[in-house]
């Protein structure tokens, strides 16, 4: 069965650079979520989209933005990167009241 | 008070043991409950949904107690491959986000 696809798997950036993470949800899933997980931490909710509109906002910094496109894929844009942004970034998708299904994640390292 | 609380562990058990995890949640209006499993540096994977009537999937049994606002996971006949972090997850409404507990680490040894 198709799963949530994220790219890239690994990303290394320097401080103050920008990064764009991509997420392709499971087909026919209408909701996309972004989570950030630091070392030894539980996943922290950043932002979600339902039918291409922002549906909920969590602890997403102002330096980050995201959108969902007409084909339902989503991108997380991160600017002015800081060392503390180094983390695993997970995208998840769902439909209705179903559980979330997570992608493999993007490991971002900021040096 | 954190919205979802779990004992971080680690729980060290021998193969074949039975182990139980509990989780409490603070929002009485929470609607859906799940256990996810996460291996080191991997994505969380759905282990099972949790229903009021309780549900079982092989060696795993999940229970929900709405009155006391806690969720439990019982693992019987532990396998080495069960070693992972188990995340208690709560969803407050249909299109709301998931709220994760910090996870309970399980280490199963030979």
| Nearest Cα residue to B31 out of B93, B97, B101 | B93
Q: Measured between alpha carbons, how far is B83 from B99 in angstroms, rounded to an integer?
A: 22
Those residues whose C-beta lies under 8 Å from the C-beta of residue A71, and which sit 6 or more positions away, are none
pLDDT at B94 over 70: no
Q: Which two tokens stand for residue B79?
A: 């396998």
Task: Summarize pLDDT for B35-48 with one digit per residue, the tens.
Answer: 999 998 899 999 99
The CA distance from B5 to the nearest CA of chain A, in Å, is 11
The CA distance from A87 to the nearest CA of chain B, in Å, is 10
| Nearest Cα residue to A78 out of A56, A46, A100, A50 | A46
Q: Do residue A31 and residue B46 have CB atoms under 8 angstroms apart?
A: no
Q: Do residue A50 and residue B95 have CB atoms under 8 angstroms apart?
A: yes
A41 in contact with chain B, both atoms CB, cutoff 8 A? yes
Residue pairs between chains A and B whose CB atoms are closer than 8 Å:
47
Task: Summarize pLDDT for B48-83 with one digit per residue, the tens.
Answer: 999 888 899 999 999 999 999 999 999 999 999 999
Task: Summarize pLDDT for A7-18 with one digit per residue, the tens.
Answer: 999 999 999 999
Task: Summarize pLDDT for A71-107 with one digit per residue, the tens.
Answer: 999 999 999 999 999 999 999 999 877 888 999 999 9
A50 in contact with chain B, both atoms CB, cutoff 8 A? yes
B10 secondary structure, DSSP code: P
What percent of chain B is modeled with pLDDT above 70? 95
B95 in contact with chain A, both atoms CB, cutoff 8 A? yes
Those of residues 82-101 in A touching chain B at CB distance below 8 A are 88, 90, 92, 96-97, 99-101
Q: Do residue B97 and residue A58 have CB atoms under 8 angstroms apart?
A: yes
Task: Summarize pLDDT for A20-39 with one digit per residue, the tens.
Answer: 999 999 999 989 999 999 98
Task: Summarize pLDDT for B75-86 with one digit per residue, the tens.
Answer: 999 999 999 999
Those residues whose C-beta lies under 8 Å from the C-beta of residue B67, and which sit 6 or more positions away, are none
| Nearest Cα residue to B52 out of B36, B35, B31, B37 | B31
């Amino acid at each position: 069965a198709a799963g949530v696809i994220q790219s890239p798997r690994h990303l290394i950036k320097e401080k103050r650079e920008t990064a764009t993470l991509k997420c392709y949800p499971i087909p026919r899933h209408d909701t996309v979520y972004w989570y950030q997980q630091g070392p030894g931490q539980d996943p922290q909710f950043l932002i979600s989209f339902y039918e291409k509109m922002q549906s909920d906002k969590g602890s997403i910094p102002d330096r980050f933005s995201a959108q969902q496109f007409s084909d339902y894929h989503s991108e997380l844009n991160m600017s002015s990167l800081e060392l503390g942004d180094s983390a695993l970034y997970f995208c998840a998708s769902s439909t209705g009241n179903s559980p979330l299904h997570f992608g493999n994640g993007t490991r971002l390292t900021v040096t | 008070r954190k919205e979802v609380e779990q004992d971080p562990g680690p729980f060290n058990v021998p193969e074949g043991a039975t182990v139980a995890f509990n989780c409490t949640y603070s929002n009485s209006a929470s609607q859906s409950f799940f256990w996810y499993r996460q291996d080191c540096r991997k994505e969380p994977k759905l282990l099972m949904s949790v229903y009021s009537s309780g549900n079982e999937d092989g060696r795993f049994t999940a229970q929900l107690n709405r009155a006391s606002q806690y969720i439990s996971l019982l693992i019987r006949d532990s396998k080495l491959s069960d070693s992972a972090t188990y995340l208690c997850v709560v969803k407050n409404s249909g299109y709301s986000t998931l709220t994760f507990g910090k996870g309970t680490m399980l280490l199963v040894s030979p």
